[in-house]
């Protein structure tokens, strides 16, 4: 039934259009392809095979096949939750001060010249990826305050699939690669690595894995690092270090950071993205850190202010829970000893799995040399399997690896070890 206002409403619709025809922004949004890990995990969950094994995760898994929580970390969390003086609070945009101080010390060493000369600062970030992103944003404004720097940034080949996207999201589009892994020799090819970096234009940023390189697990020796550092200084390049699974390669926080300490001791300016999520089991409370080492103390205030401005536009404040746990451990000698013992057990178990995997493959007469399994370190292992063999493992044996052939050694345990070894053997001996 039409009333006195009906004609008025019709006139408004004619003049302004039907409100239901308002602009729809997301109608043609392109859906990007999911990451390899997302697709693999989805396939694994749908798989009903009783012996299926998921070896593509990024967490550390215990012998029982569960995400591992350190006893000390659990104890500290319980103590904090029971503390009547503890109050919810927003931290500084740059993070928990004690955490950033301790994270800086484990990367550079307490007596580092850069710390003594007060030309270092650190920023707590919500994750390792966030630390890389903040570093990329700082670099964008680094060379010229009046002009945006756009690269090039050199990444290792292979590297974490998400790295290029992080730099591109910061507006740095010129992403290039330098040679790292030789697939035939199943090891690092230093000659080609140096050759590629020698061709890099001045002021290029070189992203370097300080330890536990992902996805290969293969690290450079100290002598090799010295050669790379010399080239970086001669070619006037900028090193951006990555320390994602700090301490899980050698069981020692500072030993894993040796390349960072060496370059800083040479007077080099650098960035270093760190993560404490793996080595403290803080997967649900990711704790990242960006370390910035400057040439001159006079640049500290302006660079730190720039970082503060960027952080406020990206995430405002990081969470405090995980950072307080890490700071509590690193600032208490007794806690530190206990934590090191737990991490040592993790590292030793991963190395034992590598050794058993290598020996069992040899006993089966599996084609190829498997020494590279024990020459790598950390959670991740580059098996050397090709795409066809990896697909055989998932389709025929229900064993899921990343397409590159990378697997998480901690996901192998006494219950699935023999089945995985047998599956890898079949992948290399079966005619496709």
Which of helix, strand or coil describes residue 407? strand
Instruction: List pLDDT tens digits, range 124-160.
Output: 999 999 999 999 999 987 755 556 667 799 999 999 9
> Is the confidence at residue 3, as pLDDT, over 60?
no
What pLDDT does residue 80 have?
82
Q: Is the domain covering 36-58+346-429 a CATH 3.90.1150.10 domain? A: yes
> Taking all residues of the chain, what is their mean pLDDT, rounded to a whole number?
89
387, two tokens: 């795409």
Beta-carbon contacts of 24 under 8 Å, excluding residues fewer than 6 positions away, are none
User: Distance between CA 360 and CA 358 in Å, rounded?
Assistant: 6
Q: Is the domain covering 75-81+89-331 a CATH 3.40.640.10 domain? A: yes
Contact 324, 99 (CB under 8 A): yes
What pLDDT does residue 255 have?
83
Instruction: List pLDDT tens digits, range 308-353.
Output: 999 999 998 898 889 999 999 999 999 999 999 999 999 999 999 9
Roughly what angle, to the nearest 10 degrees, separates helices 417-429 and 387-396? Answer: 130
Instruction: List pLDDT tens digits, range 63-100.
Output: 999 888 899 999 999 988 887 777 767 778 999 999 99
- pLDDT range class, residue 359, cuts 50, 70, 90: very high
What pLDDT does residue 432 have?
63
What pLDDT does residue 6 have?
59
> What are the residue ranges spanned by the domains of the chain?
36-58+346-429, 75-81+89-331
Q: Check if 36-58+346-429 and 75-81+89-331 are the same fold.
A: no
- pLDDT range class, residue 248, cuts 50, 70, 90: confident
Report, as an integer, the average pLDDT of 33-62. 89
User: What is the pTM for the complete model shown?
Assistant: 0.90
Identify which of 297, 415, 322 has the alpha carbon closest to the alpha carbon of residue 130. 322
- pLDDT range class, residue 245, cuts 50, 70, 90: confident
DSSP state of 94: T
Instruction: List pLDDT tens digits, range 204-226.
Output: 999 999 998 999 999 999 999 99
Q: Where does residue 222 fall: left (phi above 0), alpha (psi -120 to 50 degrees), or beta otherwise? A: alpha
232, two tokens: 């970086």
What pLDDT does residue 278 have?
87
User: Distance between CA 406 and CA 390 in Å, rounded?
Assistant: 9
> Is the confidence at residue 236, as pLDDT, over 60?
yes
Residue holding tokens 């996805």?
215
Instruction: List pLDDT tens digits, range 382-426.
Output: 999 999 999 999 999 999 999 999 999 999 999 999 999 999 999
């Amino acid at each position: 039934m039409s009333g006195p206002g009906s004609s008025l409403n019709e006139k408004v619709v004619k003049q302004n259009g039907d409100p239901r025809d308002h602009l729809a922004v997301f109608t043609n949004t392109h859906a990007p392809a999911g990451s390899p890990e997302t697709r693999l995990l989805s396939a694994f969950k749908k798989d009903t095979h009783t012996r299926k094994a998921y070896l593509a995760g990024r967490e550390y898994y215990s012998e029982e096949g569960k995400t591992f929580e350190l006893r000390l970390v659990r104890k500290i969390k319980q103590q904090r939750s029971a503390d009547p003086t503890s109050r919810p609070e927003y931290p500084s945009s740059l993070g928990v001060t004690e955490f950033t101080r301790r994270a800086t010390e484990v990367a550079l060493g307490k007596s580092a010249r850069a710390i003594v000369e007060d030309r270092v600062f650190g920023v707590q970030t919500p994750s390792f990826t966030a630390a890389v992103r903040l570093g990329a944003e700082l670099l964008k404004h680094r060379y010229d305050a009046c002009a945006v720097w756009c690269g090039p940034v050199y990444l290792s080949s292979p590297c974490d699939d998400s790295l290029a996207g992080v730099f591109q999201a910061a507006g740095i589009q010129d992403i290039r690669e330098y040679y790292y892994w030789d697939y035939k020799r199943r090891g690092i090819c230093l000659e080609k690595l140096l050759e590629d970096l020698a061709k890099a234009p001045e002021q290029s940023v070189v992203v370097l894995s300080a330890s536990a390189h992902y996805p290969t697990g293969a690290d450079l020796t100290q002598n090799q690092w010295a050669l790379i550092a010399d080239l970086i200084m001669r070619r006037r390049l900028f090193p951006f270090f990555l320390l994602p699974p700090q301490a899980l390669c050698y069981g020692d926080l500072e030993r894993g950071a040796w390349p960072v300490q060496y370059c800083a001791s040479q007077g080099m300016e650098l960035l270093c993205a760190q993560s404490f999520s793996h080595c403290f089991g803080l997967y649900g409370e990711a704790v990242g850190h960006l370390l910035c080492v400057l040439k001159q103390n006079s640049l500290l205030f302006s660079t730190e202010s720039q970082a503060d401005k960027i952080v406020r536009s990206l995430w405002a404040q990081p969470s405090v829970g995980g950072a307080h746990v890490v700071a509590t451990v690193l600032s208490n000698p007794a806690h530190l000893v206990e934590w090191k013992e737990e991490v040592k057990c993790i590292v030793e178990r991963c190395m034992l799995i590598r050794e058993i995997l290598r020996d069992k493959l040899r006993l089966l007469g599996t084609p190829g040399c498997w020494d590279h399994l024990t020459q790598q370190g950390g959670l991740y292992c580059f098996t050397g399997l090709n795409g066809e063999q990896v697909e055989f493992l998932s389709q025929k044996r229900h064993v899921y690896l990343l397409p590159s052939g990378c697997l998480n050694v901690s996901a192998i345990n006494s219950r699935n070890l023999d089945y995985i070894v047998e599956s890898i053997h079949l992948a290399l001996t079966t005619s496709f």
